[in-house]
Structure 1
Amino acid sequence: MANHKSALKRIRSNSVKQLRNKYQHKTTRNAVRDLRATTEKKEAEELFPKVVAMLDKLAKRNIIHKNKAGNLKSKLAKQVASL
C-alpha cells in the first residue's frame, strides 16, 4: 500500500492514463484491421492518411515504439498500393 499522498495520486493518475492509452491503442488497431480488410482502392486511399496519423500519434506519445509505427505504415502503404 502507498505510504505517501503523492503515491496515492500517482496511482490514480496512472490508472487514468492507462485507460486512455488502452483506448487509443485499441482504436488504432481496429482502424488498421479495417484498412487491411478493405478491397476497394479508393476507400483504402481515403482511410490510409487517417490511420497513419493515428499511428504517428501513438508513437509520439510512446504508446507504441516509433519503429513499430514505421513498420506498420510501410506494410499498409504496400498493401494499399497493390490494390
Structure 2
Amino acid sequence: MPNLKSAERRMRKSEKRRMRNRHYKSMMKTFIKKVKNAGTKEEAELMLKKVYSILDKLVAKGIIHKNRAASYKSKLAQFVNNFPITQPQQA
C-alpha cells in the first residue's frame, strides 16, 4: 500500500486506465476475429473498414502504437484480398 496521498491517487488512476485500455484492446481483438471468421469476402471487407476505424481511434488515444496499428491493417488487408473461396462455384 502507498504511504503518500499522491501515490494513492496515482494507483487509483493507473488502475482506471488499465481497465479502460483492457476494454479497448479486447474490443480490437474481437473485431479482428470477426474479420478472420467472416463468411464472405464482402462481409470481411465491411468488417475491415470497422477495424480500420477502431485501430485509428486506439492510436489517437495512445493505447497502441501507430506502427502496430499499421501492421494489423496490412495483415488484415492481405487476408481479405486473398480471401479463401469457401463455397465451390456451380456451373
Q: Unmatched 5+ residue regions in structure 1?
A: none
Alpha-carbon separation, structure 2, partners of 1:71 and 1:14: 27
Alpha-carbon separation, structure 2, partners of 1:46 and 1:34: 10
* More displaced 10-residue stretch of structure 1: 58-67 or 6-15: 58-67
CA deviations over 1:13-61 (Å, ceiling 9, x no partner): 1101100100110111111011111130111111111111111122222
Larger Rg: 2
* Residue of structure 2 in register with 1:19 after alignment: 19
Query: As a proportion of its length, which structure holds more helix?
Result: 1
TM-score, length-scaled by structure 2: 0.81
* Residue of structure 2 in register with 1:37 after alignment: 37
Alpha-carbon separation, structure 2, partners of 1:2 and 1:71: 39
Give the letter aligned to residue 18 of structure 1: R
TM-score, length-scaled by structure 1: 0.88
RMSD, aligned CA: 1.3
Aligned residue-pair number? 83
* Residue of structure 2 in register with 1:71 after alignment: 71
Corresponding residue SS for 1:64: coil
Alpha-carbon separation, structure 2, partners of 1:29 and 1:42: 20
